[in-house]
Structure formats: structure tokens, C-alpha cells
Amino acid sequence: MVRASFDQKPYRRLMMETYGASVVASPSMDTAAGRAILAEHPNSTGSLGMAISEAVEDTVMREDTHYALGSVLNHVMLHQTVIGLESIKQMEMAGEEPDVIIACAGGGSNFAGLSFPWLGQTFRGGRKYRVIAVEPEAAPSMTRGRFAYDYGDTAKLAPVVKMYTLGHDFVPEPIHAGGLRYHGMSPQVSLLKHEGFIEARSVHQRPCFEAGIQFARTEGLIPAPESTHAIRAAIDEALECKKTGEKKVILFNLSGHGYFDMTSYQRYLEGKLEDYEYPAEEVRLALEAVEA
């Protein structure tokens, strides 16, 4: 489990341990990849790229273990499209069709899950939609990264793919939306962005939590920190329509609840949650190791 999430999301860890799992913070001393990272950065908060490296290394050292990649790669994008297919049926039941489609994006699977079926309709001659991927300002791969071939993990054990990337050595700041702390973006999502079929925007975590609080007090459901990125963008789009007088149907994906993330809401409500500026110099250094 990524170190930042291990510390920030104790209830997720405790739930897994309740069911018998052994949870280790990454980077760890259990793998060569983890030990190398800790030797250079003893206080590393970890990243999804590091955790993937450790998971792959641990897997290949065992005959009784298999590793299933859960994001970024093409087959995962396909599996997640059940979300978008269901949303099409739901919109049909409501007698509506979206003008704007919004989802948060870290590795891409959640965003692809919602948007790909709608984009598929467009590519088959149907209506065009405005599709927005919302990523954290602390890890803005699509809005600030390079479209290039790069490794999917820090130790360079995972496949090389062409994607928007901040560099496989880049370690995002420890924002509370741990599922979005990834240096790259799905190749399929990246290609859609590169070809102009989708938009991307980055947002800070404090405005996202503000939107999450507003949503909770309006709808009665506390959203996950990752999901608040989509909510922030949906609210902003609605406010823009209110200002211009336009009428639009906005579809966004509430990708998860936040009941295991109440420590992050506590920090926001106590005024202790911080926004992180885009680390331009760190990204520049990380991209030096990436092929154009």
C-alpha cells in the first residue's frame, strides 16, 4: 500500500487486516526496488509507480503468485466500460442525453469506464460530447506532462507504453486522493487527449474537498477524495451555465464513497489541508529520463 495512503487512510488498511491481509507500506524493505528507493529517500511518501514496482518484483519471485494490473492498461479500460454502458441506459430511462461528461483521472480506468461507451457512439456516427478528464494539480500528467514512451512504474519493471507522463521517477506530493497519485495516464486515454477528442483540467485538493462537502450536504453521501475532482468540475460547469444562461445536461461519475477517508475530511474541516504547487523542476528532472 502506498506509504501516503498507508498513513492517511488507516481504515482501509484496518479493514484489509480485519479480513486477514498483511499490509505493507510502499516503499518497503521487502523488495530490492523498495530498498533502493529508501536508501536514496528514507522518508519517501511513495507513489503508485513505486508500489507497482514492488508488487511486480514480489510476484516474479514467487511461483504461487500472479499479479493483475488494475489500471492504465487497455484490458482494464475495457473491463471498466460497464460503468459507461450502464450510464447510457440510465440516461435513456431519464429521457436525457449528456452535453458534458466528466470523470476524475489518475491512471485512467475510472475515466475510461464512464466515457469510452459514449465516445464509441460518437465514433460510430453519433452525437459529439464534451468529455472532461479531471486530474490533481499535484500530478497533472495530461495537462503538464509529455506524450512519450515511458515506463509504467518507478523500477522499470512494467511495460513501456506511449502516454502522457510526468516521468516514471516523479513522485507526486501526498494529496489525499491517493488513487490519482500516478505519474502517467492510460495509453488509450492519452491518445484521445492527444487527438483532441477529450479535454483535461487539473484542480487543487482544497477546492475539491469544498465540492465534496457541498455534495455531501446536498445529496447525503460523502464522496471519496478522488471523486471530488469530478464533482468540482461538474459544479464549475453548472455555475458557468448559470452565468451564461445555457441549459446543459452534465453527467459525472461518483466513483466511490469517502467513509474510509474521514481523516482527510477532518483535515479539511480543521483548515489543515494544503494545496501543493506544481513542482515544475521535479517534473523537468524526471522527464530527462523519458524518450520523446
CB 134 within 8 A of CB 230: yes
**Side chain identity, residue 210:** E
Q: Is the dihedral of CA 231, 174, 200, 76 positive or negative?
A: negative
Per residue in 207-257, pLDDT (tens digit) is: 999 999 999 999 999 999 999 999 999 999 999 999 999 999 999 999 999
Confidence of residue 278 (pLDDT cuts 50, 70, 90): confident
Dihedrals phi, psi of 277, to nearest 5 degrees = -70, 150
Each as own residue / partner, the long-range contacts of residues 235-242 (CB below 8 Å, 24 or more positions apart, any chain) are 235/211, 237/100, 237/102, 237/132
Neighbours of 75 (CB within 10 A): 9
- The pLDDT value given to residue 288: 87
Helix (H) or strand (E) holding 232: helix 225-244
User: Is the predicted pLDDT of residue 292 greater than 70, yes or no?
Assistant: no
**Structure confidence at residue 224 (pLDDT):** 97
pTM score: 0.94
Percent of the chain with pLDDT over 70: 99
End-to-end CA distance of the chain: 31
Cβ neighbours of residue 281 closer than 8 Å, sequence gap 6 or more: none
To the nearest 10 degrees (0 to 180), the angle between helices 187-194 and 109-123 is: 50
What percent of the chain clears pLDDT 90, i.e. is strictly above it?
Answer: 90
For residue range 149-196, list pLDDT tens digits in order.
999 999 998 889 999 999 999 999 999 998 999 999 999 999 999 999
Mean pLDDT of 266-275: 95
pLDDT of residue 120: 97
> Across-strand partners of 82?
none
| Pairing, β 146-151 against β 160-165 | antiparallel
Relative orientation angle of helices 262-269 and 10-18, to the nearest 10 degrees:
160
Which of 12-26, 230-244, 271-285 is least confident?
271-285
Mean predicted confidence (pLDDT) in 126-137 = 96
Partners of 251 in the β-ladder = 101
Residue 291 has pLDDT above 80, yes or no: no
Tens of pLDDT, residues 86-112? 999 999 999 999 999 999 999 999 999
- In the chain the domains, ranked by start, together with CATH numbers, are 3-60 (no CATH), 74-287 (3.40.50.1100)
Residue 28 pLDDT more than 80?
A: yes
Which single residue is written with the C-alpha cell 447510457?
88
d(CA 286, CA 292): 13
CA distance 265 to 225: 9
